[in-house]
Homo-oligomer: A and B are copies of this chain.
Amino acid sequence: MPTLRDVAKLAGVSHTTVSHVLNGTKRVRPEVADRVWAAVETLEYRLNRPAQALRRGQSHILGLVLPDLTNPFFPGLAQAIGLAARKAGYALTLVDSLEDKTVEEEGLSRLAEEQVAGAIWVPVGDYVPPPFPVVLVDRTAEGTDGVEADHFLGGQLQARHALAMGHRRVGLLSGPQSLRSARLRREGFLAEAKVGGLEVVWEEEVPFSLELSPKARARLRAVREEVTLVVAANDVIALAALEVLREAGVRVPEEVSLIGYDDIPWATLAHPPLTTVRQPVKEMAEAAVALLLRRLQEPEGEAVQIVVPVTLVPRGSTREVRR
């Protein structure tokens, strides 16, 4: 592997000059610069990033810490973040914490060892500030840069849609209340439900996964007797519920309507296609990277919280009921 010095020798200049040409850190005569570039070409010189990182005290890598890649909300996010990071010249190091706080903590510690410039983090555990700048996504915290969808509004939209469709009695499959996002969705929903006169007949807290609790499954099997609508804290839960309902012979939306949250790619392919709340994943990803890059320029300064709007996407899983 050729180094700066090899390039320098071939181009007949000092190694610093090569560095300056490559980084544009100083004016260099075009003639000399050309010689340098030519030497870079012929030797197929490649920057040694660890050396650069050592000298600069930080690497040109961003960390991405996610709770669970198999949750279909995240691959799209990861892809968009990777794209934005690449455009800015950063590589991306991925940590999938598998929803485990210990794994998450070790991952962040590892990112610190790698001297990452910063990280984008969807926290599963408590927010403990790592020794590099982070932007929290989806689950934000006070005093730290963050990007999140308007969860409260999303909950409200679920309730409004339910009311607009004439529903009066609803069952709620809420997400883990340890998560800010799930809490806000629930609060938004309950607030608007109260205002509009939508009665929450039952509520079950379940994890963001396809595995529903036995109690939740029981509620769903008996759904006809109690409610005309089930609202879920995300699409994965909604799809799991749809499955239970199908097994129980409950027809959606004829007998009971269903509303999800996230608008994952499969929501539209479900049968019936899922009425849901769309989070603008791509915009969130781009905003998060932009915010992180800004913070790298300007380490000090007020924490910025970006809240992006969400929209309700009506599809086949909800239908109007008569009073």
A→B interface (CB under 8 Å) = 1, 46-54, 59, 61, 64, 68-70, 72, 74-76, 78-79, 82-83, 86, 91-96, 98, 103, 106-107, 109-115, 131, 210, 239, 242-243, 246, 265-266, 269-271
- Contact indicator B54/A51 (Cβ below 8 Å): yes
Min CB gap A247→B, angstroms: 11
Residues on the B chain within 8 Å of A76, using CB? 69-70
- Contact indicator A70/B265 (Cβ below 8 Å): yes
- Contact indicator A54/B50 (Cβ below 8 Å): yes
- Contact indicator A75/B79 (Cβ below 8 Å): no
Residue of B nearest to A264 (CB): B266
Number of copies: 2
Can you offer 12 A-B residue contacts whose CB atoms are under 8 A? A46-B109, A46-B113, A49-B115, A50-B51, A50-B59, A68-B79, A69-B76, A70-B265, A86-B106, A86-B107, A91-B111, A242-B269
Residue of B nearest to A75 (CB): B69
- Contact indicator B112/A98 (Cβ below 8 Å): no
Residues on the B chain within 8 Å of A75, using CB? 69-70, 72, 74-75
Residues on the B chain within 8 Å of A98, using CB? 79, 83
- Contact indicator A91/B69 (Cβ below 8 Å): no
Residues on the B chain within 8 Å of A69, using CB? 75-76, 78-79, 82
In the bound assembly, the distance between CA atoms of A91 and B69 in angstroms comes to 16
Min CB gap A211→B, angstroms: 12
- Contact indicator A114/B70 (Cβ below 8 Å): no
Residues on the B chain within 8 Å of A103, using CB? 86
- Contact indicator A269/B239 (Cβ below 8 Å): yes
- Contact indicator B109/A96 (Cβ below 8 Å): no
Min CB gap A107→B, angstroms: 8
Residues on the B chain within 8 Å of A114, using CB? 49-50, 61, 91
Q: Which of B96, B109, B115, B242 meets A79, CB within 8 Å?
A: B96
Residue of B nearest to A63 (CB): B91
